[in-house]
């Protein structure tokens, strides 16, 4: 079993359409994976990956639903030829404390990267804390649902609104 720190992910999002009464918020996203995970135990590929996507979010009172569609361009380590995957993720959440805290449930999956292995699928549960309107801290735990997913994961992050 491989354990350790994983790769570092950077994520940027640009709002295209604001949320309206009957329409969701729509944004375009850019993603970058910086290869910081160890490669000796197959925990990381040692290569940079790049992605782009579209995010849809809709709020109703203190609840939120979201859909994330994307495409990754994967760096291939020597001797491996990954198929660049399409991604899909969907989640629901609820805010508490006048929007200061949030609890989110998320399911994510990729299309096949290697033909001999099933695609990556995982579920996760996240907790958000809004320090002020432009700064949110997030802690996420999750579990893999496929052979190619991590058995368990733990992640954290910060979101700055510009």
Across 1-10, 41-50, 121-130, least confident range: 1-10
Asked whether residue 1 is assigned to any structural domain, the reply reads no
- Tens of pLDDT along 100-129? 999 999 999 999 999 899 999 999 999 999
Alpha-helical regions (H) of the chain: none
Task: Please say if the pLDDT value at position 98 is more than 80.
Answer: yes
- How is residue 106 written in tokens? 């998320």
Q: Confirm if 50 and 72 have CB atoms less than 8 A apart.
A: yes
Q: Confirm whether 45 is domain-assigned.
A: yes
In a domain, 27, yes or no: yes
Hunting for tokens 């801290």 — which residue is that? 137
Model confidence at 40, in pLDDT bands (50, 70, 90)? confident
Q: How confident is the model at residue 2 (pLDDT cuts 50, 70, 90)?
A: low
Helix, strand, coil percentages (3-state) for the chain, rounded to 5, are: 0, 60, 40
pTM of the model: 0.90
Segment 1-28 shows an average pLDDT of 92
Does residue 77 lie within any of the structural domains? Answer: yes
Asked if residue 67 is part of any domain, the answer here is yes
pLDDT at residue 50 greater than cutoff 90:
yes
> Is 24 within a domain?
yes
Q: What is the pLDDT of residue 1?
A: 64
pLDDT at 55 (0 to 100): 98
Does 57 fall in a domain? yes
CATH number, domain of 80, equals: 2.40.160
Average pLDDT over the chain, rounded to an integer: 94
Mean pLDDT of 66-83: 96
For residue 29, give its domain range. Answer: 8-160
From CA 143, how far away is CA 125, in angstroms rounded? 9
Domain for residue 2, yes or no?
no
The pLDDT-based confidence of 24 (bands split at 50, 70, 90) is very high
Could you tell me which of 120, 63, 62 has the C-alpha nearest to residue 88?
Answer: 120
């Amino acid at each position: 079993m491989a354990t350790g720190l994983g790769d570092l992910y950077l994520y940027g999002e640009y709002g295209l359409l604001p949320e309206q009464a009957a329409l969701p918020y729509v944004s375009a996203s850019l993603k970058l994976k910086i290869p910081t995970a160890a490669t000796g135990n197959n925990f990381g590929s040692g290569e940079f990956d790049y992605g782009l996507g579209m995010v849809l979010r809709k709020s109703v009172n203190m609840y939120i639903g979201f859909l994330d569609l994307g495409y990754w361009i994967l760096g291939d380590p020597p001797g491996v030829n990954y198929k660049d995957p399409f991604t899909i993720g969907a989640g629901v959440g609820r805010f508490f404390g006048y929007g200061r805290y949030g609890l989110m449930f998320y399911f994510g999956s990729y299309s096949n990267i290697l033909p001999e292995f099933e695609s990556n699928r995982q579920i996760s549960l996240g907790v958000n804390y809004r320090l002020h309107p432009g700064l949110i801290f997030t802690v996420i735990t999750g579990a893999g649902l496929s052979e190619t997913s991590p058995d368990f994961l733990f992640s954290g992050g910060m979101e700055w609104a510009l």
